[in-house]
């Protein structure tokens, strides 16, 4: 597949064909690394690390209950919609 180098502001840019973008799962704003080896330009997708939750982070998702066997779905409804009488 061929493409042209075009002027973009003070830089030059290469347009990537849609088929290639789709196949690689790229989109506007995706990070890539550009490298040069032996008169070849390499464009490599940067895979960002997945952010994991720390030991304390899970607490924000806890539902306060008075009893371990309490009706959790009722507590969720109470939090979302207010107390029902």
- pLDDT tens per residue, range 64-80: 666 665 566 777 777 77
| DSSP letter (8 states) at residue 51 | P
Instruction: Say what the pLDDT of residue 38 is.
Output: 92
Range with the lowest mean pLDDT among 22-26, 52-56, 64-68?
A: 64-68
Class of domain 5-45: mainly beta
Question: Is the pTM value of this prediction over 0.75?
Answer: no
List, for residues 2-19, the tens digit of each pLDDT value. Answer: 889 999 999 999 999 999
| b/e 51-67 (16+ beta carbons within 10 angstroms → b) | eeeeeeeeeeeeeeeee
Q: Map out the domains of the chain as residue ranges.
A: 5-45
Instruction: Say what the pLDDT of residue 81 is.
Output: 76
């Amino acid at each position: 597949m061929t493409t042209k180098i075009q002027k973009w502001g003070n830089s030059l840019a290469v347009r990537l064909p849609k088929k290639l973008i789709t196949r690689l799962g790229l989109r506007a704003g995706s990070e890539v690394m550009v490298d040069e080896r032996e008169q070849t330009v390499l464009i490599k997708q940067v895979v960002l690390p997945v952010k994991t939750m720390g030991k304390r982070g899970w607490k924000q998702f806890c539902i306060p209950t008075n009893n371990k066997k309490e009706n959790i779905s009722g507590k969720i409804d109470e939090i979302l919609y207010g107390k029902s009488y």
